[in-house]
Amino acid sequence: MATNVKRNFYIKIFYTVMFVSPCFLLPAFVPLKAGALFPLYSFTMSPRIRRSRDAGICDISVTLGMQPQFIIIHQQVAPYVAHIQLNRPKELNALNLQLMSELRDALKALDADDTVRAIVISGNEKAFAAGADIKQMADKTAIDMLNIDQFSTWDAIKKTRKPVIAATSGFVLGGGCELAMLCDMIVASETTRFGQPEIKLGIMPGAGGTQRLTRAVGKALAMEMVLTGRMISAAEALQAGLINKVVPVELYLQEAVNLAAEIAEKSPIAVKLAKEAVLKAFDTTLEEGLHFERKNFYLLFASQDQQEGMQAFIEKRPPVFKGK
Reported as a pLDDT band with limits 50, 70 and 90, residue 259 is very high
Please give the Cα distance from 90 to 68 (Å, whole number).
Answer: 17
**What CATH number was assigned to the domain covering residues 268-314?**
1.10.12
Amino acid, res. 26: L
Please give the Cα distance from 279 to 11 (Å, whole number).
Answer: 42
pLDDT at 12 over 90: no
**What CATH number was assigned to the domain covering residues 2-264?**
3.90.226.10
User: In a 10 Å sphere around its CB, with 0-12 CB exposed, 13-18 middle and 19+ buried, how is residue 8 labelled?
Assistant: middle
User: In a 10 Å sphere around its CB, with 0-12 CB exposed, 13-18 middle and 19+ buried, how is residue 282 labelled?
Assistant: exposed
Reported as a pLDDT band with limits 50, 70 and 90, residue 139 is confident
Of 80, 62, 100, 68, nearest in space to 163 by CA: 80
pLDDT recorded at residue 53: 31
Contacts of 221 (CB under 8 A, 6+ apart): 232, 240
Reported as a pLDDT band with limits 50, 70 and 90, residue 312 is very high
pLDDT at 232 over 90: yes
Cα dihedral angle (301, 304, 306, 308), rounded to 10 degrees? 150
Please give the Cα distance from 211 to 262 (Å, whole number).
Answer: 29
pLDDT at 5 over 80: no
- Lowest mean pLDDT segment, chosen from 2-6, 74-78, 81-85, 229-233: 2-6
High-pLDDT (> 70) share of the chain, %: 77
What confidence tens digit (pLDDT) does each residue in 288-304 have?
A: 999 999 999 999 999 99
pLDDT at 260 over 60: yes
**Domain segments of the chain: what residues?**
2-264, 268-314
pLDDT at 28 over 90: no
Please give the Cα distance from 17 to 21 (Å, whole number).
Answer: 7
Interval 180-191 mean pLDDT: 98
Q: Where in the sequence numbering do the catalytic residues fall?
A: 132, 175, 178, 198
Reported as a pLDDT band with limits 50, 70 and 90, residue 154 is confident
Q: Are 40 and 16 in contact (CB under 8 A)?
A: no
Please give the Cα distance from 120 to 85 (Å, whole number).
Answer: 8
Please give the Cα distance from 9 to 3 (Å, whole number).
Answer: 10
pLDDT at 11 over 60: no
The three-state (H, E, C) secondary structure of 202-238, written as one string: CCCCCCCCCCHHHHHHCHHHHHHHHHHCCCEEHHHHH
Please give the Cα distance from 45 to 107 (Å, whole number).
Answer: 9
Phi/psi zone of residue 39: left (φ > 0), alpha (ψ -120 to 50 degrees), beta? Answer: beta
High-pLDDT (> 90) share of the chain, %: 69
Interval 130-149 mean pLDDT: 74
pLDDT recorded at residue 66: 62
CA 139 vs. chain centroid, Å, equals: 31
Interval 277-290 mean pLDDT: 95
pLDDT recorded at residue 219: 97
